[in-house]
Structure 1
Amino acid sequence: MSDDTSGGGRLARRWRGPLGRNLVVIVLAAALVAGFAAVHAQWSPMHRWNRAFGDASFLLLALAMAMGATARLWRSAGRLIAFRRELGVYATLLAIVHLVIILAGWVTWDLWRLFGFELHPQLGRYVMVQHGFGLANAIGLVALALAIPLALTSNDVSVRRLGAQTWKVLQMGAVPLWWLSVAHVGYFLFAHFLSFHRATPEPNPLQWPFVGLLFAVVSLRLAAFVAASARPRDLCRPA
């Protein structure tokens, strides 16, 4: 009996170790990309995979943002908090792929087009034609610029070199990263195709799941903040 228990404990610790966590999150990320690609199966390949990688990245980020709050509310969930690092790292990698697909397939490496400009043949210069598209992409690029240093420092070596306090301050960038990502994703789910000069497609089926996910994450973090406020000694611990 004791040998079985010990073996089970070693197996559980192995899957909660760095290698096990990476494997779990890689499988989860691949499943999410495939699932979102199936949701968008009727779209052109570029838009299908662009959105599949972007949506999967956002969901991994949402899980990372919710995990700390969940551990605050339910101590038994504390063992899952180590997965936040891997969730953040792979969310960033998926976002980079998402950007590359957009650059190669949507704006064809024309950075002016990424920010909503098009070359006007009569004027011979670029003019703004998609205001929201440019702003949403600028927000997405700022979010990615925040995500990359967070991902690069999500390891024990960075904690030792930067010092625990500096590292924690740097990782607080996850909060603005989350809200920038919400704004970026929200625009493309709800506003991008509401243009008077082109046909409006069917609503994206992920609109209401996005609203529900946003509500769940915000509710969890708010509940964790309230719980921490009731225990002043915990206020210094990030949610």
Structure 2
Amino acid sequence: MTDIPSDRVRAGQPVPLLWRRTLLRHVVVVGLAGALVYAFAVVHGQWSPMHRWNRAFADASLALLVITMSIGPLSRLWPALLRVVAYRRETGIYATLLAAVHTIIILEGWVEWDFARLFGYEMNPQTGEYVMFQHGFGLANLTGIAALAYALVLMSTSNDRSIRMLGSSVWKFLQNAATVLWGLALLHTAYFLFMHFLSFHRPMPEPNPLQWPFVAAVLSVLLLRAAAFRSTWSKKRNSSR
């Protein structure tokens, strides 16, 4: 899905070398994604198969998104890490693909392709009509759908052909708005980690063991971005003196 970076071709790097580096990045990130899915499946091993793999793919997707959002700030704070910036494209792509698999599992195994159920409605057998049954469930799923739709747009434009077609300024504006995707993904995840099972008509399950790792990951990204902003601002202020 990644085209040959045209600026690197102009810099005189051989085309086969560029393809090998691109392929290497895909192999590395695919391996990381597979390891994350397996690890999270182990964490959720006590759940039913549908929920186990639903959460494993979702959590692995979020983990790759955390990495994607962290690479930029880390490279600003530690220039030696600039070499890993190229991986940001692949981590974003596979975060989106894992989220898509998560969505398919939900549609097939949880709501059984009944889209009314996806938005919190259930059939009332007495009236034969759909009634709102889970208010937060529908809103959280709507947030997740919006996040996936935006992620698919970002993934489909994560290539050099899109840069040439859209122009660098428009492309950068689109890609830099990834914080919108980040916010939507956090809202969607936070609901299912902390709120979905807080209902009077269902037994309370054991707390999800990933609740506080999730909080720690979110805070880490925020702190990294704040530190990178302060570092960049400080350098520009000093250079203008």
TM-score over 0.5 for the pair: yes
- Any stretches of 5+ residues in structure 2 without a counterpart? 1-16
> Does residue 199 of the first structure (1) align with residue 197 of the second (2)?
no
* Cα distance, 1:218 vs structure 2: 0.6
> Does residue 63 of the first structure (1) align with residue 67 of the second (2)?
yes
Which of the residues 204, 221, 229 maps onto 1:217? 221
Which of the residues 74, 80, 84 maps onto 2:84? 80
Task: Report what 1:149 is aligned to.
Answer: 153
Which digits, 9 at most, give the CA deviation of each residue in 1:162-212, with x for residues without a partner?
111111011023101001100111110111111111100000000010011
Contact 1:139 1:180 in 2 (8 A): yes
Q: Partners of 1:218 and 1:49 in 2: how far apart?
A: 28
Given the two structures, how large is their TM-score scaled by the length of structure 2?
0.89
Q: Partners of 1:128 and 1:227 in 2: how far apart?
A: 49
Q: Partners of 2:38 and 2:84 in 1: how far apart?
A: 24
- Equivalenced residue count is 222
Q: Partners of 2:77 and 2:149 in 1: how far apart?
A: 31
**Paired residue type of 2:118:** L
Q: CA RMSD in A?
A: 1.6
Q: Partners of 1:175 and 1:99 in 2: how far apart?
A: 21
Which digits, 9 at most, give the CA deviation of each residue in 1:89-148, with x for residues without a partner?
000000000000000000000000000000111121111110111110000000011100
Contact 1:146 1:173 in 2 (8 A): no
Aligned residue for 1:126, secondary structure, equals strand
Instruction: Map residues 16-27 of structure 1 onto 2, 5 A cutoff.
Output: 17-27=21-31
**Kindly tell me: are residues 106 and 194 of structure 1, through their superposed partners in 2, closer, same or farther at Cα, counting changes over 3 Å?**
same
> Does residue 169 of the first structure (1) align with residue 179 of the second (2)?
no
- Any stretches of 5+ residues in structure 1 without a counterpart? 1-12, 234-239
**Paired residue type of 1:88:** G
Q: Partners of 2:106 and 2:155 in 1: how far apart?
A: 21
> Does residue 126 of the first structure (1) align with residue 130 of the second (2)?
yes
> Does residue 45 of the first structure (1) align with residue 49 of the second (2)?
yes
* Cα distance, 1:16 vs structure 2: 8.1
**Kindly tell me: are residues 182 and 153 of structure 1, through their superposed partners in 2, closer, same or farther at Cα, counting changes over 3 Å?**
same
* Cα distance, 1:55 vs structure 2: 0.3
Task: Report what 2:7 is aligned to.
Answer: none
Task: Report what 1:236 is aligned to.
Answer: none
Task: Report what 1:8 is aligned to.
Answer: none
Given the two structures, how large is their TM-score scaled by the length of structure 1?
0.90
* Cα distance, 1:14 vs structure 2: 7.2
Aligned residue for 1:17, secondary structure, equals helix
Q: Partners of 1:39 and 1:94 in 2: how far apart?
A: 17
Structure 1 segments of 4 or more deviating over 6 A?
13-16
